[in-house]
Structure 1
Amino acid sequence: MSDQQNDASGGDDMSGLTGFFFYMFIVHPITAWILRPGRFERKKSIMYAILFLAGLAAIKTGLEVQQRGPNYYQKLGITRSSSPLEIKRAYKKLSLQLHPDKNPSPDAPAQFDAVKQAYDVLMDMELREVYNKFGHEGIQQNKRYSETQFLLEIAVFYVSYGVMAFLLTMGKKSGEARNWTFTGLLAMLVLEVAVMSSQGNPLPEYLFPTLTECEIVWLLHSLFPAFMNGCRSLGAYLFVDLDAQTRQLLLALQEQNKDILLVLREVQIGVQTIQTHGAGRNSTSGAVVTTDMPRATPTGKIRELQERLQASNSSVAQAVQNLKADKGSSSNLGFYGLILGYIVISYVFNN
């Protein structure tokens, strides 16, 4: 089992890279298909996409957790806060059950050695701290916490993912997705620094009582590709082109202005015609002369102008409403969410 854990720990980078390409080239196209306009109703499309991404991430992460196998705390059936006496009791109970003389399983010696190894590590406070921070690989490499080395490692990881996220969210349609992605990346950075740089046990006793700091960080890194690709898909789907809406609004205003000028020109012609013909009387006999001139009047033309303005105003009002709605949706919710998340994390770890 120790070899299995070592292989899993050594393959974390490859697993993360494989997971990234899996989400990028398989999951993202499927999510885009779900969110294609006209496929479902808007709310249902978003709900189906979120459920698909969350379910797939849960299944994938669950399989990876199962592949890694139980950690030392889970093997002994204890928690991170267990005292040395509790560890001794748990080991004594398991050693009697798994001893090769009493355990009929073919791999009884391996099971017994795994429990013994877990006991030896967790009973040594220095090794226990190394195991919590760096896992089984840290024990084998006799690794110790170094602030300089830690900052260098997280700098390489987060700069790499930051550049990758920036490249994947380039373009006008990915503006919101970029904000969400970098907000999640910063929140993950804050949580990782809080977990790895704290002395002792930084996690509350009721929160994942058997997971180590190393496994918490691994879980965050494993879930981030799903989060980033989910942001890309939903951001592109929810994107509203303000430039296009502004152009439509200006075109509508231009057409409305043309209608106004046309009707006003007709009103002017009508007024000039009435002024020219006057009351329609013959200048010599004074008799009323009937003409075949159109019966359009300035009052009628003004009424026609009013009707045209009312008709064209509806399209202008709709464009303005869309601009207002999009302006409200493009607020800095990600930034405020980051601040709130930092406050919550600080409160949890300080208490």
Structure 2
Amino acid sequence: MKVYLVGGAVRDALLGRPIVERDYVVVGSTPAKMMALGYKQVGKDFPVFLHPVSQDEYALARTERKSGQGYGGFICDFEPTITLEQDLYRRDLTVNAIAQADNGNLIDPYNGQQDLNNKILRHVGPAFCEDPLRVLRVARFAARYHHLGFCIADETMMLMKNMVQQGELKTLTQERVWLEIEKSLGDGAIEVFTTVLSHLNALNDVQPLLVQWGDEAHQKLNAQLTQVPKSDPNYKVVLFCLWLQHSSLTTLAGIEQTFKIPSKYAIALRDYCEHAATLMTPPSPKDLLKLFNKIDLWRRPERFELLINIMRFTVGFEKSQGDRLKSIAQNTRSISAQAIIAKGFSGSEIKSQLDEERLSQITHTLTL
């Protein structure tokens, strides 16, 4: 039994980047042997195990054979006779097909180090086209390493284009597509990811709200995204809203179900697309109260905070505008239904009086 560090950890170490997680491949073992050593099996389609102490993932060396269409149509062979080279051959890119032995030696049968040095993302072999998810993965890697000068090999781009033309991306579930989008948002270069997909004519399969994408949209979005600090706790949500900022409210209806987008992202995007124009120019007291009511400032103040946070990266919106609006919101929230009831109002009078006092407060604050 031999254990090798593989994939992203080896690649990023060679690039001098932080290692986020470590994955290992085990050659010459079986599920029974792994569990006897205290590993916990977690893989359903093929044997993946968690180390009893580090909780890192250890997968048995395997080969794959296409058995159907789409991402999950594979039959795996994980006999102990499978070699490391066979396991590495099934991987997507040469830069991800480098292994490291426990003595530090690198095993690189498909010239991944050379491609790293030349900043090329190249597929390992013809089996690349059997998995449509790899189109999104390569686009994501191209975006992640774009600032280092990486590009996709011409022959790999041709394979990816053929996969798109053959409708392979249509076999992916929306959940899988969203996971790749969310990872790309975390990398902070979603505009590069989008441009790669645009060149592949894949946007209609991945994010049809962006089918009109072009160089001008890329450049404008890039200028906005570079201003968003990665330390922002809502970093990915902010980037997502800027990415789809030109969407109409009609097209955004029900995107949680249509594209399997988490509600936090979907709500923030709809709030931004609906209210950004109102906030760009000094809103009237009535318009501001209407906005506060619409986003339920009274029970969900964090929703307005997030909206203002996204507005900060909108061209023409000044930080001072955001600070002032947050101050108005805070002052207006201090007027509660309980305070109105304490004044003797009841029934339908409560809401009308509440709106009147809130409107008065907004008007007063706006004139200061």
TM-score (ref. length: structure 1): 0.19
Asked which structure has the greater CA Rg, the reply is: 1
Q: Which one has the bigger strand percentage?
A: 2
Higher RCO (Cα < 8 Å, 6 or more apart): 1
TM-score (ref. length: structure 2): 0.19
